[in-house]
Amino acid sequence: MSSSPPQKNMVITGCSTGFGRVTAVHMAQLGWRVFATVRNEEDLESLRAEATRLHCQEHLVPMLCDITDEEQVGSLRRVVSEAIPLLDALVNNAGTAFAAPIELVELEDLRQQFEINVVAHVGMTQAFLPLLKEARGTIINISSVSGLYSAPVLGPYAASKYALEALSDALRIELAHFGVQVVVVEPGSSATQIWATSRQRAAKLDKYRDGPYGPLLERTEQFTSHAAKHGFAPELVAETIEKILSSARPQTRYLVPVREGRMLFARRFMSDRMWDKQVRKLLRW
């Protein structure tokens, strides 16, 4: 009699909305046991209700965890390690966006940008590496096309994603010795909550809208709002993660959607001054 394949297990952060939530549900429906982190009780109950509605509640385990809090991350690690012997995948998805011209960004906001998008991911990775090594598992870091080229006003966010790209490159080589793979997913614009939250935070910049940066702030907001509204469906990230975890030898990076490669190609082969000229023309700045 043939035995059933062993249960696959994953931890994914930032599952209140967007890529994290869609991916958590998607992988649970495929039979993975998914420990999905959220930051408040309301989101916890909402995710539980969705799992029940979609009949995947046996596989989806919503967990409260602020990944910037070391004690909460330690508690999460203990709960997960007591529940499962091996961890096949860690998806560092949680993220936020602070948008402002560099001259105007508040330094505390800049620190928070890096704390959430960079430092917390390192903390999660360190916490779960023992389980990942035992399973010879996979770490998937959710970056962004903003980790490949920057833009005015989005500099703080892009800088955090550049940092995540650099850390992923180092980690990929360091962990190859242990059989742990590191993959970066680089989504373009999508209709997720991150930019709505960013626009709410940008309200503190309203006092500058009558000043010299006013036109740039307005046009950048129009551009990002349009791009998000007409962006790709978040399900494409979930499908990409499924593809990565189904492959014995995945690529090291995945652009989502693939058409984002056109912009990357343009950036790589344009001089800095030519790129700057095109961006300034687009933003009329």
Q: What is the set of active-site residues?
A: 157
Coil, helix or strand at residue 186? strand
User: Which residue do the tokens 């800095």 mark?
Assistant: 272
Structure tokens at 226: 């349009």
Structure tokens at 278: 């095109």
Q: Which of 220, 122, 135 is nearest to 164 (CA)?
A: 122
Q: Sheet harboring 253-256: ordered strands across?
A: 60-64, 33-38, 9-12, 89-92, 138-142, 181-187, 253-256
Task: Quote the CA–CA distance of 58 and 220 in Å, as a whole number.
Answer: 43
Task: Quote the CA–CA distance of 159 and 43 in Å, as a whole number.
Answer: 28
Task: Quote the CA–CA distance of 277 and 187 in Å, as a whole number.
Answer: 25
User: Which residue do the tokens 């990942």 mark?
Assistant: 132
Coil, helix or strand at residue 182? strand
Coil, helix or strand at residue 33? strand
Structure tokens at 165: 């790209």
Query: SS in 3 state form for 131-157?
Result: HHHHHCCEEEEECCHHHCCCCCCCHHH
